[in-house]
């Protein structure tokens, strides 16, 4: 029988008492490890994290906690090779895709480690300036941000077992809040291994970092009023979380990232020979293939002026045709597998659903696989769909309502800019929209129009072609999240990420008292 991965809870490594759920190689079908969390004393584990981990972290300054993050970075960097091996085996990703997850997580930790240094030897944060409460300035109100005295429970998605962990854990630990991670079962191995390496290195206080692999049953029942919950996953599961008594009765603070039908928009006035057109084509093709399209931020709808529909279809298809799909262990392969058979079947079902209202511009099913058996592997080559004309873009409601979590995107022609903006907004709230053009004024105007319905507007113009960080890349300095269908959550955004793990309060006192609240 394959290895059963242990859970780390209550300051000790524990095995579940069940047979465990197997994790598989999505290319070869080989069983890798098993995970199980049945029988764990969740109440005791959560209490230990709150009381032991929380007390130890809050006793430290932001500067000291930033040093902890720096130490975690060193541990992870020392074990990078092992993480890449696990990612290849369990997620089926090529090396460049594994880097987005592994190195992206380590980089994010580093950013928050430096932030801790800049916040200094403080135990809470001042929020804004003091404000006088009457004519006499002697008596004023000062708002403070204090670390919440609870735990942070993370229920994470399968596509980023490293980055999904550290982009949440970094600001939580820096804030002084202990973390309990429930990784998605399918790819839990990498998350568990990273936590194990950090625990074995003795970097953090006992109870500051825990991991539970397996079922999430009972986790929400343990949440108390000062705990926080961050969830990344489907809108259906998000709805269940929102209705749980922990939220409705105990007012647990939640952050949710759900479905997102992201867009890329080529502005009017560009020709098929323009640099902006080339940047648009390159980014759409890249976002379809990076991590096999399994990114919450991937481009799902690519909007072009109706006159450029045929040219865009041909150019994007030509790039996709060069994508070598198959076993990531083969050096010629540039796109690996979907994470498991269930995700493959779901993606194919979604593709069939969209195909009812679209035409196929590039058929991925005709792409041969390299070193992979189509009957066994979870490989799926990229497919580009299209809505034929502007009228078809209006009628194809499925394109604007359905996210296929795989290498599938739809080319959507529009009549004019007003029509394009209307089509983009039919996504009902997304994580990101990218804009392409050369006119700074037009790009700025479009960004202003779309900002309210997106967590991030990413503008790619020729002057930043070599500098831009990518439509789908989430940088810790910028906000990650989105309104409406995207879940209404906010993560990262530099120091803003710490707000979720703090409680805001107002202290009303004399200026003499207020001056002593938070000395440097």
The DSSP-derived string for 278-330 is HHHHHHHHHHHHGGGG--TT-EEEEEEEGGGHHHHHHHHHHHHHT--EE-TTS
Fold of 262-474: Aldehyde Dehydrogenase; Chain A, domain 2 (3.40.309)
pTM of the model: 0.96
* Residue 98 to residue 95: CA distance in whole angstroms: 5
pLDDT at 495 over 90: yes
pLDDT at 68 over 70: yes
* Residue 433 to residue 56: CA distance in whole angstroms: 41
Average pLDDT over residues 364-371: 94
pLDDT at 168 over 60: yes
pLDDT in tens, 17-64: 998 999 999 999 999 999 999 999 999 999 999 999 999 999 999 999
Task: Supply the residues annotated as catalytic.
Answer: 257, 296
Average pLDDT over residues 249-261: 96
Where exactly are the structural domains of the chain? Answer: 4-258+491-514, 262-474
Q: What pLDDT is recorded for position 198? A: 98
Query: In terms of C-beta density within 10 A (0-12 exposed, 13-18 middle, 19 or more buried), how is residue 350 classed?
Result: middle
Lowest-pLDDT range, 283-297, 368-382, 506-520? 506-520
pLDDT at 520 over 70: no
* Residue 250 to residue 200: CA distance in whole angstroms: 35
Class of domain 4-258+491-514: alpha beta
pLDDT in tens, 442-453: 999 999 999 999
pLDDT bin (cut points 50, 70, 90) of residue 216 is: confident
% of the chain exceeding 90 in pLDDT: 97
The H or E element spanning position 359 is: strand 359-362
pLDDT in tens, 188-201: 999 999 999 999 99
Give percent helix, percent strand, percent coil of the chain, each to the nearest 5: 40, 25, 35
pLDDT bin (cut points 50, 70, 90) of residue 519 is: low
What mean pLDDT, rounded, does the chain reach?
96
Q: What pLDDT is recorded for position 517? A: 86
Average pLDDT over residues 209-220: 94
pLDDT bin (cut points 50, 70, 90) of residue 434 is: very high
Q: Of residues 386 and 2, which shows the higher confidence score? A: 386
pLDDT at 152 over 70: yes
Average pLDDT over residues 370-390: 97
Q: Residue 133, Cα to own-chain centre: how many angstroms?
A: 42
Nearest in space to 340 (alpha carbons), one of 399, 380, 384, 281: 380
pLDDT bin (cut points 50, 70, 90) of residue 1 is: low
Render 148-197 in DSSP notation, one character per residue: -SS-EEEE--SS-TTHHHHHHHHHHHHHT--EEEE--GGGHHHHHHHHHH
């Amino acid at each position: 029988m394959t290895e059963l991965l242990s859970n780390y809870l209550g300051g000790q490594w524990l095995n579940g008492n069940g047979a465990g759920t197997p994790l598989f190689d999505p290319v070869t079908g080989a069983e890798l490890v098993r995970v199980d969390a049945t029988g764990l004393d969740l109440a005791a584990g959560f209490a230990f994290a709150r009381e032991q981990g929380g007390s130890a972290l809050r006793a430290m300054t932001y500067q000291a906690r930033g040093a902890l993050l720096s130490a975690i970075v060193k541990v992870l960097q020392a074990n990078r090779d092992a993480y890449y091996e696990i990612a290849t085996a369990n997620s089926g990703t090529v090396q460049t895709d594994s880097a987005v997850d592994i190195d992206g997580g380590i980089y994010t930790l580093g950013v928050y480690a430096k932030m801790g240094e800049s916040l200094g030897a403080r135990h809470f944060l001042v929020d804004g300036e003091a404000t006088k409460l009457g004519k006499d300035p002697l008596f004023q109100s000062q708002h403070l941000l204090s670390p919440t005295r609870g735990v942070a429970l993370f229920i994470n998605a399968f596509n980023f077992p490293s980055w999904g962990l550290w982009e949440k854990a970094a600001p939580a630990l820096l804030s002084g809040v202990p973390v309990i991670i429930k990784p998605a079962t399918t790819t839990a191995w990498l998350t568990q291994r990273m936590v194990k390496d950090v625990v074995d290195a003795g970097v953090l206080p006992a109870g500051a970092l825990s991991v539970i692999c397996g079922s999430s049953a009972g986790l929400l029942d343990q949440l108390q009023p000062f705990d926080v919950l961050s969830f990344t996953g489907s809108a259906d599961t998000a709805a269940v979380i929102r209705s749980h008594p922990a939220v409705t009765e105990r007012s647990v603070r939640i952050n949710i990232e759900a479905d997102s039908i992201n867009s890329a928009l080529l502005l009017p006035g560009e020709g098929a020979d323009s640099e902006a057109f080339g940047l648009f084509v390159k980014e759409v093709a890249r976002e379809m293939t990076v991590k096999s399209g399994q990114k919450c931020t991937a481009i799902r709808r690519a909007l072009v002026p109706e006159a450029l529909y045929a040219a865009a279809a041909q150019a994007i298809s030509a790039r996709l045709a060069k994508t070598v799909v198959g076993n990531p262990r083969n050096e010629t392969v540039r796109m690996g597998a979907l994470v498991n058979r269930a995700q493959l079947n779901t993606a194919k079902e979604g593709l069939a659903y969209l195909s009812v209202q679209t035409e196929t511009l590039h058929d991925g099913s005709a792409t041969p696989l390299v070193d992979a058996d189509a009957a066994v592997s979870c490989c799926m080559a990229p497919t580009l769909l299209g809505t034929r004309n502007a009228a078809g873009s209006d009628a194809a409601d499925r394109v604007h309502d359905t996210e296929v979590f795989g290498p599938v995107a739809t080319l959507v022609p529009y009549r004019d800019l007003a029509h394009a903006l209307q089509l983009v907004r039919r996504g009902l709230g997304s994580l990101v929209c990218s804009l392409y053009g050369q006119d700074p004024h037009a790009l700025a105007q479009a960004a202003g129009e779309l900002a309210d319905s997106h967590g991030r507007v990413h503008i790619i113009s020729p002057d930043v072609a070599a500098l831009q960080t990518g439509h789908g890349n989430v940088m810790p300095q910028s906000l990650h999240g989105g309104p409406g269908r995207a879940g209404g959550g906010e993560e990262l955004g530099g120091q803003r990420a710490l707000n979720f793990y703090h409680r805001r309060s107002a202290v009303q006192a004399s200026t003499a008292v207020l001056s002593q609240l938070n000395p440097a």
